Homo-oligomer: A and B are copies of this chain.
Amino acid sequence: MSVSFCGLELAHPIINGSGTFDAIAANRAFAGDLRSDFPFAAYVSKTITLTPRRGNPPPRLWEAAAGLINSIGLPNKGLEGYLAEDLPELVGISTSPRPGGGRRLVPVITNVMGSTALEFSKLVEACEGREEIAALELNVSCPNVKTGLDIGADPSQLELLVRAVRGLTRKPLIVKLTPNTADVAACAEGAQEGGADAVSLINTLRAMALTPPAPSGAADRRAWLGGRTGGLSGPAIRVIALAQVAAVAERVTIPVLGMGGVQSGAHAKELIDVGATLVAVGTESFREPAAGARIASELEALTTS
């Protein structure tokens, strides 16, 4: 089951989706030593920005049909806080011992987002200096200040952005594509042209919910989410993710990290069958914190049978 991805040797192909598992909080909330019994083969941090962000006002969650809409708004301590306080706590984590061999170290993949190429450059440069970081994931789903569209939605713009940071790091560079685009495969190509070592997808799909009618009956039609709109994740988006991952894998030669609505080893295998090398689990971890480990063994059973 062990797999190599951009030079990282992983215990199995299942990792977490950025922003869907807080290793530090989980290690505190749960008994036992999660640090030596980690459910994922690699740990992806939530998105880190140059300066600290509080995130969006609540409510931040809405449960949709077979899915979840979130408008978390990327709260984080900012680059300095992350490097100084969080990163040290994230090293030395390992998976539980597996039939194959003993414990495998869990490399840290740091996910960063800037609103300009310059911001991305500063983030990448700072991370390049820290050997605890095994790889970088660029979150290019942030809105372009001028157009309001996601930076990553335009293939040529994305290529320029990746090229701008490529020279600043020797670490594997994963570009997390936005699904809110007309042609995700062209965006993946742009990322590859710009020098990305891998692409990951899908991020959440733009969605919205309205405040439910009050018990009184008088309906209040404001947007429910503090961020007004949010991103849809979970089972509802799995077949959309499958189509986008297949389209991207056909178009690029670099490895693909697939995600979106994965709940089982069978779901993970479908993403791998259409071309993904690794599979990330997000929302399912909310239903079951140990989902990553379960899905990894289900996948193992499916592939070795």
Seen from chain A, the residues whose Cβ lies within 8 Å of a Cβ on chain B are 62, 64-67, 69, 147-150, 153-154, 180-183, 205-210, 213, 217, 219, 221, 229, 232, 235-240, 242-244, 246, 261, 266, 269-270, 273-274, 302, 305
Contact = CB atoms under 8 A, between A and B. Distances in A.
Nearest to A62: B239
Contacts of A149: 182-183
A242 B207 contact: yes
A62 B243 CA distance: 13
A79 B269 CA distance: 44
Given A153-B182, A182-B180, A217-B305, A66 B236 contact: yes
26 contacts: A64-B239, A65-B261, A66-B235, A66-B236, A67-B236, A148-B183, A150-B182, A153-B182, A153-B183, A180-B182, A181-B181, A205-B240, A206-B240, A206-B243, A207-B239, A207-B240, A208-B239, A208-B274, A209-B239, A209-B242, A210-B242, A217-B305, A219-B302, A221-B273, A229-B246, A236-B237
A278 B267 CA distance: 37
> Copies per complex?
2
A240 B204 CA distance: 11
Contacts of A153: 182-183
Nearest to A263: B65
A305 to B, nearest CB: 7
Nearest to A302: B219
Nearest to A273: B221
A227 B147 CA distance: 35
Contacts of A273: 210, 219, 221
Contacts of A242: 207-210
Nearest to A269: B219
Contacts of A206: 240, 243-244
7 tightest A-B contacts by CB? A208-B243, A65-B235, A236-B236, A153-B182, A207-B239, A66-B66, A65-B66
Scoring A180, A181, A238, A243 by chain B CB atoms within 10 A of each residue's CB, the highest score goes to: A243
A149 B25 CA distance: 43
Contacts of A274: 208, 210, 221
A213 B302 CA distance: 11
Given A65-B238, A207-B239, A219-B302, 16 more contacts: A65-B66, A65-B236, A66-B236, A69-B239, A154-B182, A180-B182, A205-B240, A206-B240, A207-B240, A207-B243, A210-B242, A210-B273, A217-B305, A229-B243, A232-B240, A236-B236
